[in-house]
Structure 1
């Protein structure tokens, strides 16, 4: 492998901009060998704006010996074929969330990368916020004591124009609505901090505020493998949108992780904060957040590939959060408690 990681990029839609800015910032360690997308006009605009070479065919990038890995930014319904193409060519894969629209399809992608012995990373950039990392470190060092209660609140807003884009908020293209498209980031971070969920009981719905196929509202309760209990609220119908938060009640402190900051309210009366205030894309502009988290995630993936190590976010991590989302949906449709394997 060369000093720089040779990277192919597939897709240049709305989610591509923070990746592009991150790749520009990482030009000392990553060489973007080419960008491919089906929409030719959008591709040319994107490549011109960020100074990346255009590739007419994904197959040419997969065959390029200078390409070590691929970053896949397509909608969920278009990812599997590209994963198969590049993994079969021995290229490592970094994929936007979710891996696919269903757990079964996501499992096939994870197995495909295993079969071809390539590294699979998934874009869950919220783990790379400074506040998230500070909280994860303190939990790992047992500074906070046991987690007893968890509250996840995602009161986001998307206007109807967002869902008027063909396929958005549909099962055929996206695999669902607020859970798999928006809340999945916070739920992944929650699982990274708390460990797995053992059971859920939930309700999902589509409010009259949106015209869309899938859900824009989800609420429920969770039981964790560590004995904690928790609640979940997620929506894209809460105008004008507020930052998402994760709150933990621990033996030694109450913790609030919100807007890029974490606040520790210790039982002895002390209050500490870490991180920096940041917009998180919860309002009318879905892309209103810094690119730093993407930069650090991509850098971590590149280092993992070079050192033949596991990246910070793996395919198995992506399966865990997607199984939780599936359990929430099943609980709602069957109106019952759903157990998860832990």
Structure 2
């Protein structure tokens, strides 16, 4: 596999609103990753997208899969279109990198992960917040146990999405297309990052509601208490009803320090009186424009996925790690719907 120059060869499926950072990332990786083709059902929009980014348009998904040079597909379709696409790639022996979420429900996500496992192909899931410089710095510090035991966690995702131009789009914020609201579409990034740093959540007590600021089928506000498997406790709030939108923040309280990630920036204050800062100036897509963030995090994750395939190892953000956040989201919604504490 791979192209004539030895570059990792990828095909892109889907080219809607969420494709822009991926396209910019793939342009920046052109020396090591070759986009063999892009496929979208709407030919006019496909041609426009390919002209904008200099990619070739594929005649069909089947034609892409039949190309012997193809290593993997990057799937950027809405969640409700994923299962058959991934199954076809797995049957063809092609690795898969999926935009989050894996699918709309935990059961469907588990089926996708199982199909890739059965075909022995790698499955990666885009959670680019893990690839921010500040996130990687904190992950390394935790792995090295620099600050002692984790005791408490506080996550806030105070974002804004307007009714006009966002929730008024057909299918947006519905169970049928998206699988849910703020949890599975927006806060899933921060929830995945939290789990990657703090470990599994063992139980939740949650309230999910739709505010009067939006007319939509699913939730735009969630608050919850969290119990972690390692004994830490936590609280989270996520919303798309916080005009004009603010940066997400994750605070971890350790025995010997407190660490706060605010969008792409990290501040650590130690009990010894030291302050450590790490990060970068950036927007995070917290306001009305959901694509208002850099593409370098996407580039880092795509490059890591290609490296994982070539080294025959699991990518850092895999289908199996993504199932953890799907289980958490299902528990949060279940707790709210049943008005009780739910164990995971």
TM-score surpassing 0.5? yes
Match of 2:42 in 1: 39
Match of 1:9 in 2: 12
Whole-Å separation in 2 of the counterparts to 1:139 and 1:108: 32
| Residue 281 (structure 2) pairs with residue 277 (structure 1) | yes
Q: CA offsets, 1:182-232, max 9 Å, x none?
A: 000000000000000010000001000001100000001000001000001
**1:15 aligned counterpart, secondary structure:** helix
Name which of 256, 261, 264 aligns with 1:257.
261
| Residue 117 (structure 2) pairs with residue 123 (structure 1) | no
| Residue 71 (structure 2) pairs with residue 68 (structure 1) | yes
Match of 2:113 in 1: 110
Greater mean deviation of Cα atoms: 250-259 or 148-157 = 250-259
| Residue 54 (structure 2) pairs with residue 51 (structure 1) | yes
Deviation at 1:86, TM superposition (A): 1.0
Q: CA offsets, 1:76-102, max 9 Å, x none?
A: 000111101111100000001111000
- What is the correspondence of 1:295-310 to structure 2 with a 5 Å cutoff? 295-310=299-314
Name which of 196, 206, 209 aligns with 1:202.
206
**2:17 aligned counterpart, secondary structure:** coil
**2:208 aligned counterpart, secondary structure:** strand
Q: CA offsets, 1:234-284, max 9 Å, x none?
A: 000000000001001111111110121100011122211011121100011
Whole-Å separation in 1 of the counterparts to 2:184 and 2:240: 12
Deviation at 1:326, TM superposition (A): 0.2
- What is the correspondence of 1:1-342 to structure 2 with a 5 Å cutoff? 1-2=1-2, 3-161=6-164, 162-340=166-344
Whole-Å separation in 1 of the counterparts to 2:263 and 2:92: 40
Whole-Å separation in 2 of the counterparts to 1:99 and 1:66: 25
**1:167 aligned counterpart, secondary structure:** coil
Whole-Å separation in 2 of the counterparts to 1:249 and 1:304: 32
Whole-Å separation in 1 of the counterparts to 2:43 and 2:249: 39
Whole-Å separation in 2 of the counterparts to 1:39 and 1:245: 38
**2:217 aligned counterpart, secondary structure:** coil
5+ residue gaps, structure 2: none
Whole-Å separation in 1 of the counterparts to 2:225 and 2:153: 10
CA RMSD of aligned residues (A): 0.7
5+ residue gaps, structure 1: none
Structure 1 runs (4+) deviating above 2 angstroms are: none
Deviation at 1:318, TM superposition (A): 0.8
Give TM-score, length-normalised by structure 2: 0.98
Whole-Å separation in 2 of the counterparts to 1:26 and 1:271: 35
Whole-Å separation in 1 of the counterparts to 2:341 and 2:42: 44
Number of matched pairs: 340
Whole-Å separation in 1 of the counterparts to 2:209 and 2:41: 33
Deviation at 1:4, TM superposition (A): 0.8
